[in-house]
Structures are given as structure tokens and as C-alpha cells.
A and B are shown apart, each in its own frame.
Chain A
């Protein structure tokens, strides 16, 4: 069998359909042109203007001293060891032992401080029989003859007085304190104890 090409007549185009096709092509071409034009017109020159500055956190700290000259930061327990007079090792009822203490705003601090006696903690059997008084003095030193402004009076060894005590208004500004610990009548012979004072400095005005 021989295959022969066979012409299959196509149906004549509908005149309306052809016309719509031409219209669609024309509109499509126009839209394409418009689209290209739109892309072109959105392109623009840009210019970037940047600014910057360096920021640095301020510094704030207070520190203590047991000798009035050597200061250190002691944020954790047990803190700076305070040097009470010899009576602290042989207390008897009614006896008072004394120790000087100094607090200052650290030299690099950028803010002034309000200092509060946040809490005190007494440990050991003797602590229950101990009370303390804190006096602000004009100079470093603390004895039975020392006078000054009483900041805390007859506070039990363990307590949360929360007393605002003093302000430090300049870097290196130093406040001198006189710590006075008194034994009560119920102090047991040979008993021992420890008192820890916790001062908190809160930053206030920035220092110029």
C-alpha cells in the first residue's frame, strides 16, 4: 500500500475572530511598549548619606577602704575586712568596739551616687547579742571619743534598715564612717559572731 499525501482542507477563518486577534495583538504590543517605558522611567540616580556616632556606656561604682587610703571594690560576700579595735576579740556585756571605714565614688565613675545601707547580716552565736551604730565623721578614724552625724543607731546585727546614709557627688568623693558594735547583756562568754554590712550605691546625676 502506498501512502499518498492527502490535502485536508482547512476551514476558512472566521472574520470576526481574526479581527479580535489583531486587536489583541495590537493592544498587547502597546502594553509591552508601555511596560518597557515604565521600567525605564523608574530607574533613577541614588545618593546615600550616612551618619554615625560612637556610643559608650558610662561607668559607676563605689568602693570601700578599711585604712582610709587603699580603696577597693567589694561587691560580693564576705566583703572588705574591717579592722575593729582589740576589744572586738574579747567583748563583754556593755562593751563597744570601734572601727573606721571609708566609702568613695570610684574615680572613673560618671554619675553621682546615693548610698543606702541595704542590709546587714549577723552570723554566729554572738551576733544575736550585738548591735551597731554608724556615725559619719569628718575625717578617717573611729574611737570612743569620735563624734559626728549618726546615720544608723542601735541596729541589730541582722536587719534590713534600708537607711539612706549619704551621697557621693564627685568622683573620688569620700565619706568617712565610724562603725560601733556594742555587746548586749546576753552575750555568752566565748561566743563568736560576724557582721556583714551591705551598702548599695544608686547612680543619680551625671557628673560633668
Chain B
């Protein structure tokens, strides 16, 4: 007895096509890695590098009350006068009051040792606190850095930094356009300053100055050292 296939001819044809496709897929799978090899390329690495180092930039100051060169950040100021500035008084008399005699102190500013860059010092802030503060005015002039006492002559010859002989700067204020004082890198040439403080004429006299007798004030100045543009 012979058996006859019950699978229709079309189905057998599809099966045959499927088998062929499967065989082709297997062939591709086998050949694909070889094809990949032909796509491989050589590579060559080339490395390069360099070291970099940040510079150092720091300010230092000294004054009569603290002659050692040290960094004095905000909150830790240099003391301008060892004995304090006492005995401030107006000038003139009660009927013709004038500004009082100024008290003079010196201050030097520079970059710290090993500072990489030179820079510019600017007066950027002034504070005045206490009952006497509204009666005070000041001047700042630059001179060659020195630990010598500032004199009236220095006020006359120094380059104005704040205020002028004709118009002193009210305590607690600063010039709108601060003067730049150059300082060298690496604790080089420093900027020398003389500060003068006095009782203003308009705070003197029997009426205007009555409330200031025996009063005191705490004055502070902030100088900012800015790095010169970095160049090779």
C-alpha cells in the first residue's frame, strides 16, 4: 500500500522557500564575521600632554600700628595707629569754626611674596561708625612707600586718591572713580599712602559741634588689589 502526502503542493513550496531562506540566513551569519574583518582598520594612537599651574596673587599691608607685612582681609584690618587718633577738635572758634587739624597716618600696600602678577590698588570702601563719624572727613594721597610719618608736606605733594585740599571726602564715602595705584608682582614696589582725618568745618561751632565733644568713631577703609591682565 502506498502513502500519499497530505501536504498541499503550495504549502510544500512555501516550506521549500523557507528552507532556502533559512540556509541563506545561516550562510550570512557564517560569513558576516569574515566580512567584519575586511572592514577592520588599523589604528594608531598619538598622545600629547602638558602641565599647568595656577599663579598666586595676594595683597599685603603694613602701617604704624602693625608694621609687619601681612595679608589683612576684610574682618582682619591692619591697625593704622599704634596710639589711636585722639584729641580731634574743630578749628577756629565758636563764632568762626573751621575744620580741625588733621591726624595723619601712613599705610603701605603691596602684593605678597611669590605673587605671580602685578596689580592695581584702589580705594573701594569706607566705613564710619560711632557718634563722631558724621563730623569726620578724610583725604588719602599716595607717596613713595615709606614707614616714615606722614606730614602736611605729604598731603601737599602726594597724588590725590580720595578728597582734595579743597574738598575732603566725608567719612564713610569713597570717590566714585577710584584712583589706581600700581604695585609690582612678588612683593615688589609697594604703594605708599598717607591718610588724613579731621573734624569737618560744618561739624564745628557752638551749635553744630556741640554733640561731638567726647564722642568717638571707628573708621575703616577697604583697598582692593586687582591683578593686571594675564600675559605670557
Contacts and interface: CB of A to CB of B under 8 A. Distances in A.
Contacts of A81: 48-50
A167 B41 CA distance: 15
B49 A82 contact: yes
Nearest to B58: A189
Report, nearest first, the 5 A-B pairs whose CB atoms are least far apart. A79-B47, A90-B55, A95-B230, A196-B49, A85-B232
Instruction: Give the interface centre of B41, B51, B230 by most chain A CB atoms within 10 Å.
Output: B51
B48 A74 contact: yes
Contacts of B46: 62-64, 73-75, 79-80, 103, 115, 198-201
Interface residues of A, number: 65
B6 to A, nearest CB: 51
A111 interface: yes
Contacts of A195: 49-50, 52
B116 interface: yes
Interface residues of B, number: 24
Contacts of A29: none
Contact of B50 (A75, A86, A88, A191): A88
Contact of A90 (B43, B58, B117): B117
B185 to A, nearest CB: 9
B207 to A, nearest CB: 53
Contacts of B116: 90, 92
Nearest to A197: B48
A187 interface: yes
Given A78-B47, A87-B232, A192 B52 contact: yes
A61 interface: yes
Nearest to B229: A95
Given A75-B47, A87-B232, 17 more contacts: A75-B46, A81-B48, A82-B49, A87-B230, A87-B231, A90-B54, A91-B230, A92-B117, A189-B58, A192-B54, A194-B51, A198-B46, A199-B46, A201-B45, A202-B42, A203-B43, A203-B44
B221 interface: no
Interface in B179-229: 227
Contacts of B58: 189
A193 interface: yes
A130 interface: yes
Interface in B132-156: none
A89 B41 CA distance: 40
Interface of B: 41-58, 116-117, 227, 230-232
Contacts, number: 156
Interface of A: 58, 60-64, 66, 73-92, 94-95, 97-99, 101, 103, 106, 111, 113, 115, 118, 124, 126-127, 129-130, 179, 181, 183, 187-204
B229 to A, nearest CB: 8
Given A87-B231, A95-B230, A198 B52 contact: no
A82 B43 contact: no
A32 to B, nearest CB: 47
Contacts of A196: 47-49
A24 to B, nearest CB: 44
A196 B41 CA distance: 24
Nearest to A87: B232
Contacts of A204: 41
A75 B230 contact: no
B188 to A, nearest CB: 15
Nearest to A74: B47
A192 B49 contact: no
Contacts of B41: 111, 202-204
Instruction: Give the interface centre of A90, A118, A126, A193 by most chain B CB atoms within 10 Å.
Output: A90
B48 A79 contact: yes
Contact of B55 (A61, A80, A189): A189
A88 B49 CA distance: 12
Contacts of B43: 200-203
